[in-house]
Each structure stands twice: as structure tokens, then as C-alpha cells.
Chain A
Amino acid sequence: MLRYAIKRILLGFMTLFIILSIVFILVKMLPTVIPIEYLTQEGFDPVAWARKYGWDQPVFGQYLLWILNVIREWDWGISMHMRPGVEAFRVLSENLATTMRINIFAFLISMPLGFLFGIIAALNKNKWPDYIISFFVIFFISIPNFVVVTLLMYFPAYKWGWFPIQFPPSNVAAIEMARGMVIPVMALSFGPIATLTRYTRAELTEVLTSEFLLLARTKGLNQRQCVMRHALRNSMVPLIGIVIGNLIGIIGGSIVIEQIYGVVGVGQIFLRAISQLDYNVIMVSLAFYTGIGLISTLIIDLSYGIVDPRIRMGARK
């Protein structure tokens, strides 16, 4: 397992590296505009700057320099249009906190709720609580989260006035901020809750019908003890990894919610960079989203391996 994990992680880095190389070269081949204010800035040495980023070299030379800069100094280049002169990585990372906060809250809410509903559904299999939960699961797995956020923005926020209709700026009081976070967090939670409920229900019903549980009942445990001590534990272990992987994947998908609700996070920075053709910021953002995607598939694959040792996703046959 350890060998497999290490192999997967190395392969993940390889993939990231290759994707970023392709993206870098494709982006570099696009025409670039350098804003004049930037070049005429005071104390700015264009020669040193051009040499540092290899503007006197062909694309491949620039690429090598870029890679070296990233690896050696974690220098992803500078923003040219959005905030001229500021490091591209800083432009992104200053807004990372907002994105992460929303996603972490969504994570913290959807984990317990998903497990809870899954357990309720599994314990009441083919009774009315199960039917109700299953209905909502189908509903919320299917309905896109941008429709959910639209509904939330119209009814609770606009009609009833419970929440602000747009994400508040970062300088408002904590209580306002908390109210502002309700809608994006909810919109991001419904889908994961539904997915998690479905997983938990499937896993738990399977464990509940297994023979060791029958043994547990025969040796005198009541239903509650059975479920708490044996069934839950055995169904949780495989689930955790899959769940975490899925939820990390959601960070990549939260860009749509951020855009709709006006959350100034990574997503908005990325979109602004695209509209202003700020290539270095685009590169960092793409690296971020690719990395997130790779980490999430990595965790999911590894946890499948833990669940069922026969499964080695991507392994040779």
C-alpha cells in the first residue's frame, strides 16, 4: 500500500508538471501586452526584470527559467495588469482565505449532516424516512448548485431579507460576515450532503446485512450497540477518504458559486486575470485548480485502495 501511495503521489507530481508545462507554453505563445505604466514605474529596471523572466530568450528558455524560479524561489512571476508589480502568487493567495473559509465551513456542515442522514436512511431502509431522504438525495445530487444559489439569493436573501444579497466586503463586522457566508456555504453544502448521504446509506446497508453483525446480535448486543460499535465503524473507515477527496474537489467547483454571489476569492481573481490577460496570475490560478483536482483524485484513488485492497486505480494489470 505504501509503495502504491508513493507511486501515486510521484505520478501526481509528474502529471501536474506536464500539464503546467503544456499550459505555460500555450500561454506564452499568445501575444502579450506590457502596460506602459508598468515599464515607466519609478525604480524599475526593465533589463534586470527581462533577464529574470527570460524575455530575451525563446519560449523554451523562458519555460526553463520559469520552472527554476518556481522551484527555487516559489516565484510565479509578477502580475502585470491587475496589480502591476505585485507577485502573482501573492495576488492569488491574499484571496485564498475567503475561498477556503467558505469551503471549510461547507465541509464542516456537510460531513456530519451527510453521515447523519445516511445513517437514518440506512437504519430505516425501505420505510418512510428512507424514502424522504432518498427523494431529497436524488433532488440535490441532480440540481446544479448554481440553481440552488439562485433560489437562496431570491427567497431568503431578497424576498425575506434574512441575508445580504451579495457577499459583504471583507471590512464589515464579523456578524455581517457570518450572515453573508450563509448562502454560499449552504449552496456548496447541499450537493456534498446528498452525495455523502447516498454513500453512507449504501455502505451502511451493506454492513448491516453482513454476517458479523448477525453474530453481534446473537451474542446479545441490542440494535443500538450493534450499529454504534460495529456497523458504523466498519462503514466509516472506507467512507472518510472518499468523502474528503470529493470535498476537496468541490473547492475547484466553488468558483461558480463565488462568481454568482460576488465572493472575492480565488475564482474572481482568476476570472479577472483572464479578462485582463494577466498571464502570470492565470498561470498560478490554473496551477491551483489543477493541483486541487489532482489531490482530490489522488485521495479518492488511495482510499479506494484502502477500502478494497484488490482495487489499484491506474495500476498495471
Chain B
Amino acid sequence: MRVADESLIRREDFQFTQKDERIFDTSFETKPIGYFKDALIRFRKNKSSVFAFFILMFIILMAIAGPYFNQYEVEYANASLAYLPPRVPGLAELGIFDGQQDYHAVPYATLEENYDLNSIVWMSEPYQQVTVEGTKETSRTVVDITVDVYVNRFGNRDIFVFGGEALAEYMAKPYYISHEVLEEELWEPRPGEIYDVSTYRVTISYLGEYYSGLAALGYDVKDDSVVPSFWFGTNGSGVDLFTHTWFGCRTSLLIGLYVMLVTLSVGIIWGSVSGYYGGTVDIVMERMVEIIGGIPWLVTMTLIKMYADSSLRVENPSAMALFFKDNPTLLIALALVITSWIGTAGGVRTQFYRYKGREYVLASRTLGARDRRLIFKHILPNAIGPIITASVLIIPGAIFTESAIAFLGLGPSGTIISIGTLLSEGQAVLTTAPHMVLFPAIIISLLMITFNLFGNGLRDAFNPSLRGVE
């Protein structure tokens, strides 16, 4: 018979590792990582989103500070400086943004029997060509010229580009020719002499009027290097587009912000109630959402515009009509929020359905928490990730729609300076002043791309199912 097992385990073989001291868990070396911290860490891993975020921040900063970068204020407008192309002092040497504009295929030339090829090109306004007396339509010559619009404009005179022997009669006054043409900066042609400048890049204006134009603007006429420069050019009424572009960017972003704030608050409340209570409440609210969600922004904007316009046509406009006349951006924001909260409400509702049955909610309810506490303290913070992501994407959506409204001319009748109005204003003179469209188009494209990339990054960061996958 075998010896009983207990006889092999003797009491003396065992001893306490510690008897009098108390045991503690060793504290963690690392910091605790919560929901948002975790999202932040994963967001940082996404290079393109971080990059987009910084560009976005730059645009937002410029929208805040940009309008104060130069001496021109938003109200500044000088009709004699209309449609100046952009000129940036530092970049002008590189040949970009140097205030020059190419005019090509300027066809009014040649009285062939008397003159050489590209004899006279006469442009009265920079944007419209005047036929020279005696022009033969059949013998057109295409001349490519580059004009320094700034110089031309401050002289406020016609530009002559000429070659061969065509000078004499236009030579009564002294001209200004940029030094690319001739050695001397100042050139005083004498009647009767022949100058061949047809092969050069020519910028000519009446020198005297150039200087007097500068002096009228408060520039020192002795100092040739001090010339006004509009970084983004000017528009048809001569406002500084640099100031206006950033100011418009601010307006557009503000519209986006207003829409986002209202959308978020209405959407969250609506979605929470609908999702949390469910049942009949949910059904009724969902039907309302379906109807409102079916309304295109075109419809709301049309109605709002028609009402705003007709309320201003009456003799004594109401206080509200006047308020919206003074704050047309709010009117656009109003038109946009009418339908924009639908998506957020739907998202919040889905999130509530997902979380309201969880055990921790049940536990809290058992402990006597009220509905409000359950909704705002327990369910909403856990459900907030996708809602944040969606809300970020509301801003570019609003900016896009605002621009579309501006293009369609459906905006309220007050003056709004926004990316959309700048774009549509530039679109109208696209062929003659392409710079007007250039900068707003770049900014709105950048805004859309960066917002989308940033939103995508946020979405991935807040999506716990992607944790560890990427």
C-alpha cells in the first residue's frame, strides 16, 4: 500500500514570503491613455492628415490675420486701379506675379505699304482694342506683347507697341520704357527718328503721367522703386484682392462655423431624444426628419431669398428684414442649417441605439440616474467620435454650398465678401483678368482637400475597430 500523499507534504517546507508587510500593486510606468488621447496618438500616425491639418491651420490663421497684412483695408477701393494683375515685390524678379500681363494675338496692325510688319498696336483700354484708322483686315499680324499693367495704369494712358517707322506721330511726349528694352530707363524719342523696338519686351507709357499718377497716390515720384503692388491684384472696382481674399475666406469659414454649431446642437439634441426614447417619439421624429431631409438647399435658399427680397421691397421693412440685410451671411447660414442638421441627427440616433442598451447605462439607471444624466453623461461622450468626424465635414460642405449659391446669384442682396462671391465675380471676367479667379480657387480647393484629409484622419482615429490594424 502506498504511503498517503499528505505525509509527503510537510508543513515545515512552507513559509510565508511576507508576513508583516502589505502588498501593493506596482504602479504603471506608462501614462493612462483615454479615448481622446488614443485617438490623438493614432491621428498623429496619419501623415497626410497631420499635413492637411497644418495647412488648414495656416489658412485659418491667414483668414484671421491676412486682411491686416498690408495698408489696404477691406473698404479700400480705387476705380482707377481696376483689374491690376498680381504683383509681389520679391517674386517679380523671378518673372511671376510681376504685374505684367501677356496680350497675344493683338491684330490691329500694319499699313503695309508704309510700315514694317508689326507696326502699330494700339490698345486703348487694356481689355479692348481699338482699330487704328486705315487698318486692313486682311493683313493682320499677330503680336505677342507683355505689358506692365501697373506702369500703364498709373500713367493712365494708352499703350503703344510699335516697330518700324510707325513712331513719329505718337512721339510728341516722353515715354517710359522698362529697362528690358533699352539701356536707359528714360527714353525720350524725338519725332522723326526711327526706333525698332518690335523684337523687345516693351512697356511704354507717358512718363509724366506715370509720375503724376504715382504722386496722386502718395508715392515718392523721385524714387522709382516705390511702386504700389497688389499681391493678389485688384478687381473691377479696384479693391485689394489680397485683403478681400482672406477676408472672404474668413466669411466662408464663419458661415461654416455657424452652420456647424447650429447643426451640432440641433442634431445632437434631436438625435439624442429620438434615439434614446425610441418608440412612438422616434417614429414621429424620423418622419419629420425624412420630410425635411428631402428638401434640397436650392429650395430653401430660393424661398429665403424671395422672402428676404420681398420683405425689403415694402415701405417699412421689419426689424428682422433689416437685420438680415445687414448680416447677409447669417441669412445664408440660416438657409443652410435648415436641412444640414438631418445628417448629424441621424448619426447621433444610430449611436444612441448602439449604446443605450449597454450594461453601464443599465447600471447607472439602476443607481437612479435621470434621463438627462444618462444621455449627456454616459451615452453621448461614448458616442461622440463619429459625430465629431461628421461635424468637421460640415464646414467644407457649407463653404461649397455657399459658393454654389454665389455662382447662381441666389445669395441675399446685401454685399457679402466670401470665397464664393469672389469666385463668381472672377468667373465673369475669366478671360481678361484670370488672377481674380486664381487665388479664391486655390484657397477653396485647398480648404476642401485639407478638410477632407483631416476629416478622414479623424474618422480613422476615432474608429476603435481600426486600432492596431494600421
B299 at interface, CB cutoff 8 A: yes
Smallest distance from the beta carbon of A226 to chain B beta carbons, Å?
25
B290-A143 in contact (CB<8A): no
Stretch from B15-23, B190-198, B301-309 contacting the other chain: B301-309
B98 at interface, CB cutoff 8 A: no
With A139-B449, A150-B427, A150-B430 known to touch, is A15 a contact of B291 (CB < 8 Å)? yes
Smallest distance from the beta carbon of B231 to chain A beta carbons, Å?
21
A220 at interface, CB cutoff 8 A: no
- Which residues in window 254-312 of A have CB below 8 A to B? 255-256, 259-260, 267, 271, 274-275, 277, 282, 286, 289-290, 293-294, 297
For chain A, which range describes its interface: under 10, 10 to 19, 20 to 34, or 35 or more residues?
35 or more
- By a CB distance below 8 angstroms, the chain B residues around A153 are 430
A19-B291 in contact (CB<8A): yes
Q: Mark A16-54, 1 if CB is under 8 A from B, else 0.
A: 101100010011001100000000000000000000000
Q: Which residue of A lies closest to B396 (CB)?
A: A142
Cα distance, A282 to B396, chains bound together (Å): 28
Cα distance, A143 to B449, chains bound together (Å): 7
A162 at interface, CB cutoff 8 A: no
B296-A290 in contact (CB<8A): yes
With A144-B400, A144-B445 known to touch, is A27 a contact of B430 (CB < 8 Å)? no
Cα distance, A255 to B405, chains bound together (Å): 10
Q: Mark A110-128, 1 if CB is under 8 A from B, else 0.
A: 0000000000000000000
A30-B404 in contact (CB<8A): no
- By a CB distance below 8 angstroms, the chain B residues around A182 are none
B295 at interface, CB cutoff 8 A: yes
A60 at interface, CB cutoff 8 A: no
B427-A293 in contact (CB<8A): no
A259-B423 in contact (CB<8A): no
B282 at interface, CB cutoff 8 A: yes
B296-A150 in contact (CB<8A): no
Q: Mark B276-301, 1 if CB is under 8 A from A, else 0.
A: 00100011001000110111101100
A154-B453 in contact (CB<8A): no
Stretch from B6-14, B125-133, B173-181, B406-414 contacting the other chain: B406-414
Smallest distance from the beta carbon of A313 to chain B beta carbons, Å?
9
A255-B408 in contact (CB<8A): yes
B463 at interface, CB cutoff 8 A: no
A31-B310 in contact (CB<8A): yes
- By a CB distance below 8 angstroms, the chain A residues around B303 are 23, 26-27
Q: Which residue of B lies closest to A15 (CB)?
A: B294
Most buried by A among B278, B302, B303: B302
With A252-B296, A277-B306, A317-B353 known to touch, is A271 a contact of B448 (CB < 8 Å)? no
A294-B445 in contact (CB<8A): no
A286-B302 in contact (CB<8A): yes
- Which residues in window 412-465 of B have CB below 8 A to A? 423, 427, 430-431, 434, 437, 441, 444-445, 448-449, 451-453
A146-B286 in contact (CB<8A): no
B403 at interface, CB cutoff 8 A: yes
Q: Which residue of A lies closest to B299 (CB)?
A: A286
Smallest distance from the beta carbon of A119 to chain B beta carbons, Å?
22
Interface of A, secondary structure class, is helix
With A27-B303, A30-B310 known to touch, is A255 a contact of B294 (CB < 8 Å)? no
Smallest distance from the beta carbon of B300 to chain A beta carbons, Å?
10
Smallest distance from the beta carbon of B143 to chain A beta carbons, Å?
17
Cα distance, A151 to B278, chains bound together (Å): 49
| Total B residues in contact with A, Cβ cutoff 8 Å | 42
Most buried by A among B283, B295, B310, B437: B295
A260-B407 in contact (CB<8A): yes
- By a CB distance below 8 angstroms, the chain A residues around B299 are 19, 23, 286, 289-290
B445-A142 in contact (CB<8A): yes
B278-A293 in contact (CB<8A): no
Smallest distance from the beta carbon of B133 to chain A beta carbons, Å?
29
Smallest distance from the beta carbon of B439 to chain A beta carbons, Å?
12
B310-A147 in contact (CB<8A): no
A143-B296 in contact (CB<8A): no
With A144-B403, A316-B283 known to touch, is A293 a contact of B449 (CB < 8 Å)? no
Q: Which residue of A lies closest to B298 (CB)?
A: A289
Cα distance, A173 to B53, chains bound together (Å): 50
Tell which of B295, B302, B307, B451 touches A19, judged by Cβ atoms closer than 8 Å. Answer: B295
Smallest distance from the beta carbon of B249 to chain A beta carbons, Å?
15
With A31-B310, A147-B444, A317-B353 known to touch, is A256 a contact of B404 (CB < 8 Å)? yes
Cα distance, A144 to B451, chains bound together (Å): 13
Smallest distance from the beta carbon of A167 to chain B beta carbons, Å?
14
- Which residues in window 133-168 of B have CB below 8 A to A? none
Cα distance, A138 to B283, chains bound together (Å): 37
Known: A143-B448, A267-B408, A317-B278; 8 extra A-B contacts, CB below 8 A, are: A19-B295, A142-B449, A146-B403, A158-B431, A260-B427, A274-B306, A277-B306, A290-B299
Residues of A that sit less than 8 Å from B by CB: 11-12, 14-16, 18-19, 23, 26-27, 30-31, 138-139, 141-144, 146-147, 150-151, 153-154, 158, 165, 252-253, 255-256, 259-260, 267, 271, 274-275, 277, 282, 286, 289-290, 293-294, 297, 314, 316-317
Could you show 21 A-B contacts with beta carbons less than 8 Å apart?
A: A12-B294, A15-B294, A16-B294, A19-B295, A23-B303, A30-B310, A138-B449, A142-B445, A144-B400, A144-B448, A147-B445, A158-B431, A165-B431, A255-B298, A256-B408, A274-B306, A274-B410, A289-B296, A289-B298, A314-B286, A314-B290
Residues of B that sit less than 8 Å from A by CB: 278, 282-283, 286, 290-291, 293-296, 298-299, 302-303, 305-307, 310, 313, 353, 396, 400, 403-404, 407-410, 423, 427, 430-431, 434, 437, 441, 444-445, 448-449, 451-453
